[in-house]
Structure formats: C-alpha cells, structure tokens
Amino acid sequence: MLSVKIEGVDALEQRFEKLPDAMRAALARKIEDLAARLEQKIKENLSGAVMQAKSGTLRDSIEVRLAPSAAALVARTKYAAAQEYGFAGEERVSAHSRAIREAFGRAIAPKTIFIRAFARVMDLPERSYMRSALDEMQDEIAAALSEAVEEGLSA
C-alpha cells in the first residue's frame, strides 16, 4: 500500500474543529469532490496516460478514504509503490503451481506444473501515476479549497 505522511495534520484537524459549522460542511463537501476527481485522474493515468492496464488490478485497487477534514487515496496492491517510485533489486518468488495449455508454441492438454522458488533481478522504472495526478490538480485543489472557505464565510 502506498502511503504519504503529512506533518501537522493533527494541528490542522484541531483548527478544523474550531471552524464554524457552515465552513466545515463546505470544506468537507469540497474535499470529497476533489478526492473523487483525483481518483478519476489517477485511474486515467493507469488506463493509458502513464501506464497501460494489463489486468486492471492496480486501477481497481485505488480507493478514497474520507475523514471529516481530509481524504486519502490508497492503492491496495503489493506492487503499487514499486510502480509509483520504481524498483531496482532482487525479488524472491515463492514456489507455486501453474496451469499450462501450451508448450513450445503448441497446444497441449491442460496440465498443472510446479515451479520452484527462485529470485529474479528487476529494474522497474518509476511510473508516477498518483503523484503526477496530484501535481496536475495542485492549482485546482488550492483554488477549490479557497472557494470553499469563502463559501463557508459567506454562509
């Protein structure tokens, strides 16, 4: 799971609790809307803008987690961070079985084979799908939150 830690969130949440109800409600609505748009942008990046989807598992694992004063977007796959930040090193693959229907380019009767544990060297380049989406929306997010504050003050 990919995680980003922002310092000062506790102080921000305390200040958020002291805001008038109208402003808190306006900010909460705007945060929810922005999170949904950011999720859509990330999924677009995983559908061709940054990466081509093979199975769609990474794209389908993206989810929004909302709190009253914040939103978190997470990817629930083991390899999400490796795709976002890149990876160079050795990966251990445990023993497993595999069903095959073809061997040496020829169709065969379905058969289960067993693969021993092995290690493989990987050099996966960085393919930022989350950070690039956030960077693209940065100005929009700042403007939308300012607009929500003004809306809350005028209510």
Q: Is 56 left (phi over 0), alpha (psi -120 to 50) or beta?
A: left
Count of C-beta atoms within a 10 Å radius of residue 38: 21
* Cα–Cα dist 115/94, whole Å: 8
For 55-66, write each residue's pLDDT tens digit. 889 999 999 999
pLDDT, residue 6, reads 63
Task: Note whether 122 and 137 are within 8 A (CB).
Answer: no
Mean pLDDT by 10 residues, the chain (155 residues): 61 71 84 94 86 84 89 92 94 95 94 96 93 93 88 74
pLDDT in tens, 114-133: 999 999 999 999 999 999 99
* Residue 94: per-residue pLDDT: 96
Q: Can you give the pLDDT at residue 5?
A: 62
pTM value is 0.74
* pLDDT reported for residue 56: 86
**Please, are residues 80 and 95 in contact by the beta-carbon 8 Å criterion?**
no
- Beta-strand runs (E) in the chain: 62-67, 70-75, 87-93, 96-103, 106-115, 118-124
User: What is the pLDDT, as a whole number, of residue 121?
Assistant: 97
